[in-house]
């Protein structure tokens, strides 16, 4: 009932900001350095408007989408977001369950704090996203673990060879590993809702959270000084490792975090089933252009690959613009995590329903009944 006042995805952010310690709100919302990449994610969508058609019977609208052989309720899903369970109690499970209930896909992050086996149990359609060291002997056992857990889709995030430069995290005292500095301590005690309902409840019920899913075995606790050891060697990751995974992994394989059409071509040549055109929500290399800007070029040469995009998608109109410019599917990150912070599974369900309803209304107003009818001539650059 109290969720009725949330009318669109952006409505969840202010309340999440109030509830979360500053360092966690900053971690979710922030981009890298000057925030130019994140800013471009919104600007790119704002550069397009619609040319709707009228007087067409638009009854019986349908936004179901088939993705890797499965039919989903909508053309959007929840992308991987690390440390979700630090932001909302059991955050990855919350996102996984809400996605399953609404029949939209959800991707578990490598930097999550709940085992991939538990998340798979909560959502039998969840995908797994990997952050990989460029070392065969580290990759192989992880691929085997993900396969043994029953996952069908393996996503390799390609845009994190080194940790990004997010100065807001440093300013707020949020570092990896997490350290309880006086600033962080004050930040948490002044946000008692988070301290009790997320942190204390997690530690009481499940113990100190660990990074569970970076490797074949449990990783270090969030407060551990050993974490950087896990992150080392990521800068050696290269296409030859994608090849290695392709040989070992019989499910669908997706590369996430490329922008260049040349890289999309390489993904196709290395046998990937899909790509996620993404600048990581503007969180990695600053001034990386929005995925929307290279999407049409990538879509034009996709062959049999599925082309997906994310970054700054907040409205049904954004979803439709991305599909009109060549995407087969889109992903929406931050708003669903804010919704989990605000109201757990019910919050995420509300957010998914809002976006679904916006798309349905927009289809009618555009004069079309299904996603197949979304064509480039429905949009114009301003
Ligand atoms: C992310 N993202 C991300 N991507 C990834 O491949 N692995 C990860 O662990 C994470 N972690 C993560 C944490 C948080 C808090 C955010 C906000 C984002 C990037 C994410 O998958 C996606 O690409 C962007 O969030 C999409 O942009 P929007 O929708 O948030 O603007």
- 81 ligand 1 Cβ < 6 A: yes
pLDDT of residue 222: 87
For ligand 1, pick from 16, 38, 77, 82 the residue to mutate: most ligand atoms within 8 Å of CB. 82
pLDDT tens by residue, the chain, 382 residues: 799 999 999 999 999 999 999 999 999 999 999 999 999 999 999 999 999 999 999 999 999 999 999 999 999 999 999 999 999 999 999 999 999 999 999 999 999 999 999 999 999 999 999 999 999 999 999 999 999 999 999 999 999 999 899 988 888 888 777 778 898 999 999 999 999 999 999 999 999 999 999 999 999 888 776 665 566 799 999 999 999 999 999 999 999 999 999 999 999 999 999 999 999 999 999 999 999 999 999 999 999 999 999 999 999 999 999 999 999 999 999 999 999 999 999 999 999 999 999 999 999 999 999 999 999 999 999 9
pLDDT of residue 67: 98
Q: Whose CA is nearest to atom 13 of ligand 1?
A: 81
Closest CA to 255 of 132, 122, 158: 158
State ipTM: 1.00
pLDDT of residue 228: 58
- 156 ligand 1 Cβ < 6 A: no
- 333 ligand 1 Cβ < 6 A: yes
Q: Is 280 marked active-site? A: yes
Of all atoms in ligand 1, which is nearest to the CA of residue 84? 15
pLDDT of residue 229: 59
- Catalytic residue, from 210, 241, 280, 356: name it: 280
Q: Cα of 60 to ligand 1 centre, how many Å?
A: 34
pLDDT of residue 223: 76
pLDDT of residue 1: 73
Q: What is the CA radius of gyration of the chain?
A: 20
- 291 ligand 1 Cβ < 6 A: no
């Amino acid at each position: 009932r109290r969720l009725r006042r949330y009318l669109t995805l952006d409505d969840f952010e202010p309340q999440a900001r109030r509830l979360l310690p500053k360092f966690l709100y900053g971690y979710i919302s922030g981009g890298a350095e000057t925030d130019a990449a994140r800013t471009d994610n919104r600007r790119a969508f704002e550069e397009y408007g619609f040319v709707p058609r009228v007087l067409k019977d638009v009854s019986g609208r349908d936004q179901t989408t088939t993705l890797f052989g499965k039919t989903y309720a909508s053309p959007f899903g929840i992308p991987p977001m690390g440390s979700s369970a630090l932001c909302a109690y059991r955050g990855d499970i919350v996102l996984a369950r809400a996605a399953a209930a609404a029949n939209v896909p959800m991707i578990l992050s490598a930097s999550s704090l709940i085992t991939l086996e538990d998340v798979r149990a909560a959502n039998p359609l969840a995908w797994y996203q990997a952050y990989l060291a460029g070392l065969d002997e580290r990759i192989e056992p992880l691929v085997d673990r993900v396969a043994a857990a029953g996952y069908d889709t393996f996503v390799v995030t390609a845009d994190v060879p080194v940790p990004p430069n997010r100065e807001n995290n440093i300013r707020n005292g949020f570092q990896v590993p997490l350290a309880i500095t006086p600033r962080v301590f004050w930040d948490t005690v002044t946000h008692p809702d988070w301290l009790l309902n997320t942190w204390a409840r997690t530690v009481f019920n499940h113990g100190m959270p660990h990074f569970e899913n970076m490797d074949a075995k449990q990783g270090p606790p969030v407060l551990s000084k050993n974490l950087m050891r896990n992150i080392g060697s990521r800068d050696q990751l290269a296409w030859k490792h994608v090849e290695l995974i392709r040989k070992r992994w019989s499910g669908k394989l997706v590369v996430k975090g490329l922008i260049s059409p040349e890289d999309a071509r390489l993904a196709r040549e290395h046998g990937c089933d899909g790509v996620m055109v993404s600048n990581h929500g503007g969180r990695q290399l600053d001034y990386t252009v929005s995925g929307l800007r290279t999407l049409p070029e990538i879509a034009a040469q996709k062959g049999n690959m599925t082309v997906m995009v994310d970054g700054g998608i907040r409205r049904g109109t954004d979803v439709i613009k991305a599909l009109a410019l060549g995407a087969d599917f889109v992903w929406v990150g931050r708003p669903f995590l804010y919704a989990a912070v605000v109201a757990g599974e019910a919050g995420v369900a509300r957010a998914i329903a809002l976006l679904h309803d916006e798309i349905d209304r927009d289809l009618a107003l555009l004069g079309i009944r299904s996603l197949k009818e979304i064509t480039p001539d429905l949009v114009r650059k301003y």
